[in-house]
Amino acid sequence: MEAYNKRILITGGAGFIGSHVVRRFLKRYPDYLIINVDKLTYAGNLENLKDIEKAPNYCFEKGDIVDAPVVDEIFTKYQITDVIHLAAESHVDRSIEGPLDFVMTNVVGTVNLLEAAKKSWIDSAHVFHHVSTDEVYGSLGDEGLFNESTPYDPRSPYSASKASSDHFVMAYFHTYDLPIKMSNCSNNYGSHHFPEKLIPLMIHNIQHNKPLPVYGKGDNIRDWLWVEDHASAIDTIFHQGRVGESYNVGGLNEWTNIKLVRFLCQIMDEKLGREKGESEKLITFVTDRAGHDKRYAIDASKLENELNWRPSLKFEEGLVQTVDWYLQNQDWVTKVTSGSYKEYYKKMYDNR
């Protein structure tokens, strides 16, 4: 194990963003040992990592970060030198139905990891990179962008749990000198995205001629970034970011939900050989999300100016690539949309 320059614990590596981060680090850094710890909840899927599971510098441990002895054991077993922490309950709608899982994983799980790092690391030659969200800043009006000094104002149980975890991470820096770095990113899209989230849910429903449930009037705004660009930002911040700092990540790419869903319908009409305008007929306006944040928009100039990071892919191209991935990976889609997904969908959308 000592042969590796770093032994990085990546939590939540079987999830959407985590799987992209694990793949990127394995390919770019053969001198690092990557240990992926994931509970494999409904959102975690080892199929996401099939192509790299036999990589010589990769280990998978099924484990729950809420279980402190499990976390401690992993730190000892692999002599963990660094952490990239992505494991979380991540879906706002589920947090409205049941906040406690969010408190446990996102808050208690994060504190368990911080404690294990504090106990194991005797000097500052380590990095604890906490991956967080722009939702901690709350909701914007028509003007302005979130920057790193925007006061925290979380409004959903999900964002409240992430805000709390961010505060614990910063507290461990100030109180115990734990070498932390943090990133707060806007909405991601791309392959392996679980179809409870807007883009993959809409792609799936358009394909199967099911209603497209747009919350409220569809005028809420999200700022979309390709998941690989988020992974490249994490790589950059992990290696070059300043200790004790947070960096906003985003691509100045704001879309109202309705405009985005219409654009997806256009792409899918072409891909599926449907008449122009055919899929748009499926759009159905449904009861709004409780406490629905109006607008998110990220100012990423700190990351761009200090660390020279830039997003690489235009949204319009990335969406076409994403649609292609879903259409070409029907086995993956079928597996994740059977069983408990059906119950979830019924509970959230029937009679909405």
| Contacting residues toward ligand DAU, per CB under 6 A | 90-92, 133-135, 186-187, 197-198, 201, 213-215, 220, 222, 257, 289, 296
134 is catalytic: yes
Find the shortest distance in angstroms from Cβ 311 to ligand DAU: 15
How far is it, in rounded angstroms, from Cα 183 to Cα 294?
22
Alpha helix stretches (DSSP H) within 212-256: 227-240
Instruction: Tell me which of 82, 89, 115, 135 is the catalytic residue.
Output: 135
Find the shortest distance in angstroms from Cβ 209 to ligand NAD: 26
Does position 17 bind ligand NAD by CB under 6 A? yes
Closest CA to 39 of 100, 7, 86, 1: 86
Segment interacting with ligand NAD (CB under 6 A) among 9-17, 28-36, 92-100, 272-280: 9-17
Residue 236: which of ligand NAD, ligand DAU, none does it interact with, CB under 5 to 8 A by kind?
Answer: none
Backbone angles phi, psi at 285, to 5 degrees: -80, 125
Residue 220: which of ligand NAD, ligand DAU, none does it interact with, CB under 5 to 8 A by kind?
Answer: ligand DAU
Q: Which of residues 68-97 bind ligand NAD (CB under 6 A)?
A: 86-90
223 is catalytic: no
State the CB neighbour count (10 A cutoff) for residue 223. Answer: 22
Beta bridge partners of 286: 215
Residue 92: which of ligand DAU, ligand NAD, none does it interact with, CB under 5 to 8 A by kind?
Answer: ligand DAU
Q: For the residues of 72-86, what is the DSSP string, one character each? A: HHHHHHHT--EEEE-
158 is catalytic: yes
241's CB contacts (< 8 A; 6+ apart) are 129, 181, 183, 247, 306, 307
Find the shortest distance in angstroms from Cβ 21 to ligand DAU: 15
Q: For tokens 């109180």, what's the residue?
A: 175
What Å distances lie between residue 274 and 268, 271, 278, 282, 321, CA to CA?
8, 8, 6, 13, 19
Does position 223 bind ligand NAD by CB under 6 A? no
Collapsing DSSP to helix, strand or coil, 127 comes out as strand
If the CB atoms of residues 48 and 186 are measured against ligand DAU, the closer one turns out to be: 186
User: Which position among 43, 111, 127, 199 is part of the footprint of ligand NAD (CB under 6 A)?
Assistant: 43
Find the shortest distance in angstroms from Cβ 131 to ligand NAD: 5
Does position 12 bind ligand NAD by CB under 6 A? yes
**154, 293 contact by CB (below 8 A):** no
Find the shortest distance in angstroms from Cβ 166 to ligand NAD: 10
Length of the chain equals: 352
Handedness of CA 201, 191, 297, 158 (dihedral sign): positive
Instruction: Tell me which of 115, 134, 196, 254 is the catalytic residue.
Output: 134
Residue 257: which of ligand NAD, ligand DAU, none does it interact with, CB under 5 to 8 A by kind?
Answer: ligand DAU
Does position 133 bind ligand NAD by CB under 6 A? yes
Does position 46 bind ligand NAD by CB under 6 A? no
If the CB atoms of residues 159 and 232 are measured against ligand DAU, the closer one turns out to be: 159
H-run or E-run covering 61 = strand 58-62
What Å distances lie between residue 264 and 73, 202, 268, 278, 334, CA to CA?
45, 8, 6, 12, 20
Find the shortest distance in angstroms from Cβ 242 to ligand DAU: 23
Active site residues per annotation: 134-135, 158
Which residues here bind ligand NAD, judged by CB under 6 A?
11-12, 14-18, 38-41, 43-44, 64-66, 86-90, 105, 109, 131, 133, 162, 185, 187-188, 194
